[in-house]
């Protein structure tokens, strides 16, 4: 939310350094906190990189170094999220097999209330996970291109991937 407040502040003055820093640091770190359960390293890398960029001023060498650290943090986040996604798929397969076994032995079906709730929860978690993963994958080339890259300045793609991810995640939280 703080990142979008920074965006609103930039509406009247797109050259506001403090509003730019607020929105870029918060929008880079936000997905990290959503996936923080197994992702402490990427939080630290992205925060360190954001700190370097924030303190770089106009020094391009330090700005590029901070950007590289942020990009490495995002890449680590994508890797850990992908591994967690594989574990989640494994869990879903085991859950599905257990439900089939239970249905055969105990007569339970997916139509009962408890199973519907579990299935709805799993679907909601998968949607939230995929939205965060897509956002993180989008962040990789965006940050790898450096500050002011064409991808970073493409508002249509940004709003489609960043904004749509936020809109889809908030109702699930």
Per residue, the 3-state secondary structure of the chain, as one string, reads CHHHHHHHHHHHCCCCHHHHHHHHHHHHHHHHHHCHHHCHHHHHHHHHHHHHHHHHCCCHHHHHHHHHHHHHHHHHHHHHHHHHHHHHHHHHHHHHHHHHHHHHHHCCCCCCHHHHHHHHHHHHHHHHHHHHHHHHHHHHHHHHCCCCCHHHHCHHHHHHHHHHHHHHHHHHC
148 compared with 43, residue with greater pLDDT? 43
pLDDT at 101 over 50: yes
Q: Judge whether residue 30 has pLDDT over 80.
A: no
In this predicted model, which residue has the larger pLDDT, 85 or 95? 85
pLDDT at residue 141, as a whole number: 83
- In tens, the pLDDT along 3-22 reads 778 888 888 888 888 888 88
Tokens of 170: 């908030």
């Amino acid at each position: 939310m703080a990142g979008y407040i920074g965006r609103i502040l930039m509406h009247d003055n797109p050259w506001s350094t403090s509003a730019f820093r607020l929105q870029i640091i918060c929008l880079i770190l936000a997905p990290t906190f959503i996936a923080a359960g197994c992702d402490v390293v990427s939080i630290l890398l992205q925060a360190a990189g954001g700190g370097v960029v924030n303190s770089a001023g106009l020094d391009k060498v330090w700005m590029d170094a901070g950007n590289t650290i942020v990009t490495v943090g995002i890449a680590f986040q994508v890797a850990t999220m992908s591994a967690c996604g594989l574990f989640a798929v494994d869990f879903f397969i085991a859950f599905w097999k257990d439900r089939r076994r239970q249905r055969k032995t105990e007569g339970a079906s997916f139509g009962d209330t408890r199973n519907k709730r579990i299935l709805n929860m799993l679907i909601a978690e998968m949607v939230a996970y995929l939205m965060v993963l897509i956002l993180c994958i989008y962040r990789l080339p965006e940050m790898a291109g450096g500050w002011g890259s064409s991808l970073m300045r493409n508002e249509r793609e940004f709003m489609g991937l960043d904004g749509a991810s936020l809109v889809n995640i908030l109702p699930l939280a």
